[in-house]
Structure 1
Amino acid sequence: MGRLFGTDGVRGVAGRDLTAELAMDLSVAAAHVLGDAGAFGHKRPVAVVGRDPRASGEFLEAAVVAGLASSGVDVLRLGVLPTPAVAYLTSALGADLGVMLTASHNPAPDNGVKFLARGGVKLADAVEDEIERRLREPWDRPEGAKVGRVRDAFGEADRYISHVLETIPNRLEGLRVVVDCAHGAAHMVAPEAMVRAGAEVEAIGARPDGLNINDSCGSTHLAKLQQVVVSRGADFGVAYDGDADRCLAVTHEGKVVDGDQIMAILALDLHSRGELKRDTVVATVMSNLGFKLAMREAGITVVETAVGDRYVLERMKADGYNLGGEQSGHVIMLDHATTGDGLLTSLHLAAVVAKSGVSLAELASVMTPLPQILINVKGVDKAKAGAPELAKAVAEAEAELGESGRVLIRPSGTEPMIRVMVEAASQEQATQVAERLAGVVRAACV
């Protein structure tokens, strides 16, 4: 059996790959690793459990709660809440572990189990490996008064809303904002928070039925949001994914503002207030060169990591940075959250718009995204990504592009595939160079 844990928990088609039995067994193993009663003296460990609105989340929640309680862990059932809310409440409520049931931006048939350690932080690979190792191991089952107790804690959503509102430096009066909740976990808390912050809000994608999550809406499908923002004459719109750990935005003209542009706006605002730690922002190697050029022009350093918000977070924590993220809209504001938080990001973005008195379009123009072409070359030997002929072709392409472009050759982490990414001053040049390099990959990496 391959490794169960992927880049963000255990995911699969609910009922087929991710069964109730597996969810229960994972929770028992996680209780033994993260909630070992021996580590807490006489205190019984406590877990918080949240989920997005997927229909399968109902039976998976029941399985997870049963696994935890049968292991002697007290459970606070949070109900439908965003992943970052569960992370925050794991810390705020002093829980020993947190569990979120979600498949993020994936379609409704998928689901996932994501564990959080004390403090609401993601698990290290070694901890995930330990949970897998102890899966279905023999164990002494608590009885009588030693079994865990379960209670609902749905009202804790307000604690999370109050927390994110306390972080914004100014109110949002005068703004008209359209909020696309992807029929997902933020469908109640996001519109409520925006209204309480002072904005006039129209919510779309806010009627989950368990099956419509991410269905032609949310941060992966922006067409509906673009249409509503323009037709209503709103100042801008924001869109979350299914578990609301990321957000993207659109301007009053309906133009997309991606994660790089959002990070640029927030970085410049923090920098102007002297609150950007070490005058540095953390981004992945896939962030647009236009972002890096804009930051350099502003005197802000960009530190790069591998693709994945977990790697961004690791670098931020290791070196004391407080802002980082990805082009996809995962933005981490480490002064206020332990993970990417779409609602937090959108509130701070709105606060900059409200304070500046200029449009989101004008704020986003601080960076000019360079045309970016990504070609996935499939069926090749990833181990040959460093072949001399490919390295020579890359060097020639980089010389041709100069400072107005760049090349990134990256083996896929999960498939027999090499990704070729090229940025250039024009779409035509980016396409030509990318296709040329893809041809070299096909010839050199067989």
Structure 2
Amino acid sequence: MSKKYFGTDGIRGRVGDFPITPQFVMQLGYAAGRVLASAEHTRGERSAVLIGKDTRISGYMLESALQAGLIAAGVDVYLAGPIPTPAVAYLTRTLRLQAGIVISASHNPYEDNGIKFFSANGSKLPDDIEHAIEAGLDGEISIDSATGLGKAKRLDDAVGRYIEFCKSTFPSAMNLRGMKIVVDCAHGATYHIAQHVLHELGAEVIAIGVKPDGKNINDGYGATAPANLQAAVVEHQADLGIALDGDGDRLVMVDSKGVLYDGDQLIYVIARQRQEQGRLVGGVVGTLMTNLAFEHAMQKMGVPFLRARVGDRYVMELLHQNGWELGGENSGHIICLDKHSTGDGIVSALEVLHALRTQNVSLSEAAGDLKLYPQVLIYVRVAKGVDCLGHADVKAAVAIAERALDGRGRVLLRPSGTEPLLRVMVEGEDKALVEQSAKQIADVVRKLAN
């Protein structure tokens, strides 16, 4: 059964437009609270939930609304303030709470916001609980008695707890002394955390994107806008740069020359080092967008590789199904299940740094064996109700492209889940052929789209 509000990453939208309104979010808090406070989830104990947020100005309003709904449902609330999404997952698990809630729209601009839930074990909420919450959204907020209301408490040591957790994932016998690192926090939730983790592990740290004003999150800084990081690494003659996104679960890195490395390349560095040390459990999970060169590299290393649907939720599902530990997306969501229950930008960066220190190599040397294939992505706007994927002309165009690529590339057509768009992606060894094939398929789709 499909969900009305919950997407692959919670509920997200533009602030002020339904459902990201204070009225709906209070109702959401109440519905979630009623589900979480039921005997099935509390085992007779009082239900308690952690709320964290990124640095968006709308977070204050939504936090208050969410808090009111939860308290009305009889749930106690711990307020952590601005902390990364993975910090909420960690604290929910270690504090033995029923759930954790993040108010964030991740890498989106400040005009957007969203609500994301974690279960008691620090992973995404199961589908059945999301369905149960949605079922309660149509009811009214009802308070039988003031004696049944929840309470709110500020969790003052949330940041310190999370900093210590991140440091604990790095080998205790190793340090970062002698390394100069530029870290870009996107004016987001890691602005008061990432630089301290790196500094306390011994690195010389230059921090940028650490002055949030409520409106500048992801604006020209962070994992989705790395140009400032690239320039800063070269300017300061740093060994490398680390860029996180607004809620701290996405990572890209930059080498000493300012060259950018995406999620595929960073997962490759981690996977190769783990395999050499005999620590790679099973294989690696990527997504439909993972570069074909990465898949070929895993084959050459003798490492099993699987593709999930796009979204870290689906990567996680495949990891759990196979009992594996490492996976992620080329966008920079990297999951190391032996370190954390969810994707974590800081922890993933420390995993890369661990590999570099162990092998005594630079980032460019560690990732140098993986040469990503050219990838062209074209967005085609499609009128509502038009089925381009099933049309014979589109299928024929794809078949022509696949014959031309002759096993040295691939074609992927994927509709957007949030906009009336069809993504046409072609990648392969021959850049000119890839560009030509993508354009030809997109032209056919465009003719049919309207």
TM-score (norm 1): 0.95
Instruction: State the percentage of identical aligned residues.
Output: 43
Distance 2:259 2:316 in 1: 29
1:160 paired residue among 159, 162, 165: 162
Distance 1:334 1:208 in 2: 30
Residue 176 of structure 2: SS of its match in structure 1?
Answer: coil
Residue 317 of structure 1: SS of its match in structure 2?
Answer: helix
1:285 paired residue among 280, 284, 288: 288
The one-letter code matched in structure 1 to 2:246 is G
Structure 1 unaligned regions, length at least 5: none
Partner of 2:360: 357
Partner of 2:297: 294
- Displacement of 1:265: 0.5
Q: How does 1:179-328 map to 2 (within 5 A)?
A: 179-278=183-282, 280-328=283-331
Distance 2:141 2:21 in 1: 21
Q: How does 1:38-437 map to 2 (within 5 A)?
A: 39-138=41-140, 140-141=142-143, 143-169=145-171, 170-278=174-282, 280-379=283-382, 383-437=387-441
Residue 338 of structure 1: SS of its match in structure 2?
Answer: coil
Residue 277 of structure 1: SS of its match in structure 2?
Answer: coil
Render the CA deviation track for 1:389-436: whole Å, top value 9, x for unaligned: 433332332222123221112233334432211112232221111111
Is the 1:173–1:354 Cα contact (8 Å) retained in structure 2?
Answer: no
Is the 2:376–2:438 Cα contact (8 Å) retained in structure 1?
Answer: yes
- 1:10 partnered with 2:6: no
Distance 2:341 2:44 in 1: 28
- Displacement of 1:125: 3.5
CA 1:343–1:131 in 2, change beyond 3 Å: closer, same or farther? same
- Displacement of 1:38: 5.6
The one-letter code matched in structure 1 to 2:187 is H
TM-score (norm 2): 0.94
Partner of 2:28: 26
- Displacement of 1:188: 1.0
- Displacement of 1:369: 0.7
Residue 115 of structure 1: SS of its match in structure 2?
Answer: strand
Residue 383 of structure 1: SS of its match in structure 2?
Answer: coil
- Displacement of 1:247: 0.7
Distance 1:224 1:273 in 2: 35
Distance 2:40 2:129 in 1: 17
Is the 1:290–1:368 Cα contact (8 Å) retained in structure 2?
Answer: yes
Residue 139 of structure 2: SS of its match in structure 1?
Answer: coil
The one-letter code matched in structure 1 to 2:48 is V
- Displacement of 1:445: 6.0
- Displacement of 1:32: 1.2
- Displacement of 1:286: 0.7
- Displacement of 1:37: 4.4
Is the 1:379–1:417 Cα contact (8 Å) retained in structure 2?
Answer: yes
CA 1:203–1:239 in 2, change beyond 3 Å: closer, same or farther? same
Residue 373 of structure 1: SS of its match in structure 2?
Answer: strand
Distance 2:293 2:41 in 1: 48
Is the 1:161–1:189 Cα contact (8 Å) retained in structure 2?
Answer: yes
Is the 1:387–1:445 Cα contact (8 Å) retained in structure 2?
Answer: no
Most deviating of 183-192 and 269-278: 269-278
Is the 2:292–2:428 Cα contact (8 Å) retained in structure 1?
Answer: no
The one-letter code matched in structure 2 to 1:287 is T
Structure 2 unaligned regions, length at least 5: none
Residue 406 of structure 2: SS of its match in structure 1?
Answer: helix
- Displacement of 1:375: 1.2
Distance 2:380 2:215 in 1: 33
Is the 1:246–1:342 Cα contact (8 Å) retained in structure 2?
Answer: yes
Aligned CA RMSD, in angstroms, stands at 1.8
Is the 1:37–1:45 Cα contact (8 Å) retained in structure 2?
Answer: no
Distance 2:284 2:273 in 1: 12
Most deviating of 98-107 and 115-124: 115-124
Distance 1:322 1:162 in 2: 22
Residue 403 of structure 1: SS of its match in structure 2?
Answer: coil
Is the 1:82–1:245 Cα contact (8 Å) retained in structure 2?
Answer: yes
1:439 paired residue among 440, 443, 447: 443
Distance 1:112 1:42 in 2: 31
Render the CA deviation track for 1:60-112: whole Å, top value 9, x for unaligned: 11111121122111111111100000011111100001111111111112111
Distance 2:396 2:15 in 1: 46
Distance 1:38 1:304 in 2: 35
CA 1:148–1:383 in 2, change beyond 3 Å: closer, same or farther? same
Number of corresponding residues: 444
- Displacement of 1:313: 0.8
Render the CA deviation track for 1:304-363: whole Å, top value 9, x for unaligned: 111111111111112111011000000011112222111111111112222222110111
Most deviating of 42-51 and 124-133: 124-133
The one-letter code matched in structure 1 to 2:32 is A
Residue 157 of structure 2: SS of its match in structure 1?
Answer: helix
Is the 1:382–1:411 Cα contact (8 Å) retained in structure 2?
Answer: no
Distance 2:354 2:207 in 1: 18
